[in-house]
A and B are shown apart, each in its own frame.
Chain A
Amino acid sequence: MKKAINLIMVLTVSLGVLFAGENGLINRHESLVKVFFEVETGLFGVLSHTYQTGRTEEGASNFDFVAQGGQDILFPFDRYVAGLTINEKHKIGLLYQPLTVNTDVTFREDVLMDSTLFSAGTPMEIKYGFPFYRFTYSYRFVNRERFQLAAGLALQARNANIVFKAVDGSAMTVANNTGPVPSINLYGKYTFPAGMYMSLDATGLYASSAIINGASFAFEGSILDASLRAGYPLRKGLDVFANLRFLGGTSKGESQYPDRNWSESNERYGENYLSTMSFTLGLSIY
């Protein structure tokens, strides 16, 4: 999928360069609907990450992915956005955030994960997959030449796939989960006379009620995806940028969805606390 998106970006940039004039790279100047694409790539580090499936009093381990699961190095980070603006005021964005970390580690203590015991000394393959897709609508309520402010709503679809697997295949536990996560989006941008701009884009929500987190039962959770960007337009319709991003989320509670699928957790109680920091370079075409 990443290859296809990159291909589309390369094609679009190339096509745009061929046809650029007074217009943007891919949009006509007079068009009410303008399309944009963004791709960024870089690295990210995990600041903290703990995960538990099952109750502590029943022996479940609170697993520290950084200290115990091999997430103590840097990993590649990509992000892809396609969107459109209507009449310079309404912005619709579709985001794809790949986020899968595969690590290898030999456990140094017994770990009980979702009723499965992995003993000390067991070589393990661990997959933490938490890519997500997000649809965002925002309205630009301040739209000056230098300064823009926008706010809106987002709906994120989590697509979790967490696997603890003994390398010899003797034991494995899988936790799959998909579901919607609503959130709020805030955006601000300031453009300097030289053309360089700084922007802040934050999408997040804390929810402890049942309705707002997309479940029919009480489950506490939060997400925050906040990035500080410095960008520069190389030419009309083509920006380069550097991006510093905090991406994190928490979930804690008793799920009422046990045993619907064999790839869901056996245990109802779960906790997941993740915070990451990424640095990327990117390209925006419009």
Chain B
Amino acid sequence: MKRLTIMIMLLSILIAPVFAGEGLINQKDSPIKFRFETETGLVGVLEHTYQSGSGAEGAYEFDFVKEGGQDILFPFERYVAAMTINGKHNIGLLYQPLEVNTNVTFREDVMIDSVIFGQGTPMDIKYGFPFYRITYSYSFVKNDRLELAGGLALQARNASIVFKQANGEQMTVSQNVGPVPAINLYGRYNFNSGLYLSLDATGLYASSAIINGASFSFEGSILDASLRAGYPLRKGVDVFANLRFLGGTAKGDSEYIERTWSEPTQSYTSNVLATSSFTLGLSIY
């Protein structure tokens, strides 16, 4: 989707002369209007713990920040393609790359998913948790100054977590794909100068089996909340700065073990992640 978004943005420029004088890529009276966004910046991990296997059986609660090298800043990108129908119905497709590769030498024994990595072991660690999201929201307030909207989102997680001994002797992999439903809230205020502030939050806490997309009890939550300050350079082109909290939790006994060789061998998993990012971006519409 990243390449697609970039391609669409470039194509949009090519077709822009057709609509010049209106929006950049939309006709003024069109009932369907498109919008594309790209943003780039940095992300810091506030908190991140991970456990695969029961603590009673010796599984280690691994702190990615203190023990896994996630104690520095990492690049952050986001891509969005969206459309608005009749000014009220908003549909957005989001691609969130999220992969952190780190190196660290373990200073204690660590047991992940039944594999023991001894103290002093040089490790290559990959934490991949990119996701895709479709969001529908309805703008129930929309005037020159204020917009308020609410809706539903369906997110697809695409996790790949790898602990690999640097000499290749041992490795454990945990991969997982699955849907995560969520609620979306959006608010925006436009100042006279054209500057605007907006708050966009998508999240959910679920402890029941049905709502989190699994057929067994598994507690989880996500929150993706961003505060944005934007400024229209000209009609149809905004620049913006974005401060975002992105986090999630998962805890419970999965029945999805050992279906494939890249799923955990242990049923119990706990994963708590909290990040904060700052980005600059461009929105064309």
Contact = CB atoms under 8 A, between A and B. Distances in A.
Interface of A: 1, 4-5, 7-8, 10-12, 14-15, 18-19, 26-28, 33, 35, 82, 94, 96, 116, 127, 133, 157, 159-161, 163, 165-166, 168-174, 176-178, 259-264
A35 B240 CA distance: 11
Given A7-B6, A169-B165, A262-B67, A15 B72 contact: no
Contacts of B231: 33, 35
A172 B125 CA distance: 13
Contacts of A33: 193, 231
A5 B41 CA distance: 9
Contacts of A170: 122, 166-167
B69 A15 contact: no
B66 A177 contact: no
B13 A15 contact: yes
B16 A15 contact: yes
A18 B275 CA distance: 38
A15 B65 CA distance: 41
Interface residues of B, number: 46
Given A18-B16, A172-B122, A264 B39 contact: no
A176 B166 CA distance: 18
Q: Top 10 A-B pairs ranked by shortest CB distance?
A: A169-B167, A169-B166, A172-B122, A4-B40, A1-B75, A263-B69, A14-B13, A262-B67, A159-B73, A261-B66
7 contacts: A1-B75, A4-B77, A12-B233, A160-B72, A169-B122, A176-B71, A261-B67
A173 B107 CA distance: 11
Nearest to B122: A172
Contact of A262 (B24, B38, B107): B107
Nearest to A13: B13
Interface stretch (B51-59, B264-272, B276-284): B276-284
B98 to A, nearest CB: 13
Given A26-B234, A35-B239, A263-B71, 17 more contacts: A1-B77, A4-B38, A11-B282, A15-B13, A15-B24, A15-B233, A15-B237, A19-B20, A35-B233, A159-B42, A161-B72, A165-B103, A170-B167, A178-B72, A261-B67, A262-B105, A263-B102
